Amino acid sequence: DAMVIQNPRYQVTQFGKPVTLSCSQTLNHNVMYWYQQKSSQAPKLLFHYYDKDFNNEADTPDNFQSRRPNTSFCFLDIRSPGLGDAAMYLCATSIGSNEQFFGPGTRLTVL
Amino acid sequence: EDQVTQSPEALRLQEGESSSLNCSYTVSGLRGLFWYRQDPGKGPEFLFTLYSAGEEKEKERLKATLTKKESFLHITAPKPEDSATYLCARSPSNDYKLSFGAGTTVTVRA
């Protein structure tokens, strides 16, 4: 089945220790998104790639960066995680402006 | 700023007790209104897209409707497996990015 895959599902890191989350898709969608979702809150868009074009949200901290080496893969790098960065990180894909399909998420814990 | 508001925040239903969830937004102009289901610890699962006022979509016990300023998700004769958080999201007419509401958490008791 075509799908969005996120690895790892659970990530534990230490305060200030860089961490990378990965997302891959077999849907061949041209847009890939990264969201942050904290408990009982709406998903918050961090950035997205429309084809190869990177689009950063104005309020996304500089601590967060992303890479999309090819159509299928996208990475979220958190350079120096703080306690406030503990959250569920969701990857989603879409064809243009059509509905977005989400992966299972990566739960990040910062100690 | 585009705000999407969902109500109620939580809904407890008896099995078979039909109810409706509301999603309203402040900015006019709509490209699409999306409904998702999210189970605890998982990513949102796509349910419906609505594009214009008067449009309705159905899937099993769920029916989504759209007016000019709000959308409703009707749950008919719910079962315990319908327990989840239901998220709505809106993309404005001049953008394709989604603005999500905080969700309505539905609990259906047997």
Least confident of A22-31, B27-36, B37-46, B51-60: B27-36
pLDDT at A80: 96
Query: In terms of Cα–Cα distance, which of B94, B88, B95 is closest to B3?
Result: B88
pLDDT grade, residue A2 (50/70/90)?
low
Least confident of A2-6, B4-8, B76-80: A2-6
Q: For residue B5, how many other CB atoms are within 10 A of its CB?
A: 13
Whether residue B43 and residue A96 make contact (CB cut-off 8 A), yes or no, is no
Which residue is closest to B103 within chain A, CA to CA? A42
Interval B12-32 mean pLDDT: 90
List CB contacts (< 8 A) between B45 and chain A. Answer: 102
Residue B49 pairs in a beta bridge with: B34
Query: In terms of Cα–Cα distance, which of B63, B57, B61, B64 is closest to B78?
Result: B61
pLDDT at A86: 97
pLDDT grade, residue B2 (50/70/90)?
low
B81–A contact, CB cutoff 8 A: no
Indicate the residue of B31, B32, B97 with minimum beta-carbon distance to A45: B97
Whether residue B97 and residue A48 make contact (CB cut-off 8 A), yes or no, is yes
Cα distance between residue A36 and residue A21, in whole Å: 12
Question: What angle is formed at CA A42 by the lines to CA B35 and CA A48, rounded to 5 degrees?
Answer: 85
Cα distance between residue A106 and residue A101, in whole Å: 15
- Of B12 and B68, the one with more pLDDT: B12
Whether residue B43 and residue A48 make contact (CB cut-off 8 A), yes or no, is no
Interval B11-24 mean pLDDT: 97
Tokens representing B69? Answer: 């300023």
Tokens representing B102? Answer: 């905080």
Cα distance between residue B51 and residue A33, in whole Å: 22
Per-residue pLDDT tens digits for B64-93: 999 988 999 999 999 999 999 999 999 887
Q: Is the pLDDT of residue B27 over 90?
A: no
DSSP state of B41: T
Q: Is the pLDDT of residue A103 over 80?
A: yes
Whether residue B49 and residue A45 make contact (CB cut-off 8 A), yes or no, is no
Per-residue pLDDT tens digits for A46-87: 999 999 999 999 999 999 999 999 999 999 999 999 999 999
Cα distance between residue B54 and residue A3, in whole Å: 32
Interval B86-109 mean pLDDT: 91
Indicate the residue of A41, A94, A104 with minimum beta-carbon distance to B42: A104
Which residue is closest to B86 within chain A, CA to CA? A42
List CB contacts (< 8 A) between A97 and chain B. Answer: 31-32, 91, 96
Interval A20-29 mean pLDDT: 96
pLDDT at A68: 96
With the C-alpha atoms ordered A23, A27, A31, A33, is the resulting torsion angle positive or negative?
negative
Interval B27-46 mean pLDDT: 91
Indicate the residue of B4, B31, B43 with minimum beta-carbon distance to A103: B43
Q: How far is CA A21 from CA A65, A81, A92, B45, in A?
A: 11, 12, 13, 20
Which residue is closest to B51 within chain A, CA to CA? A98
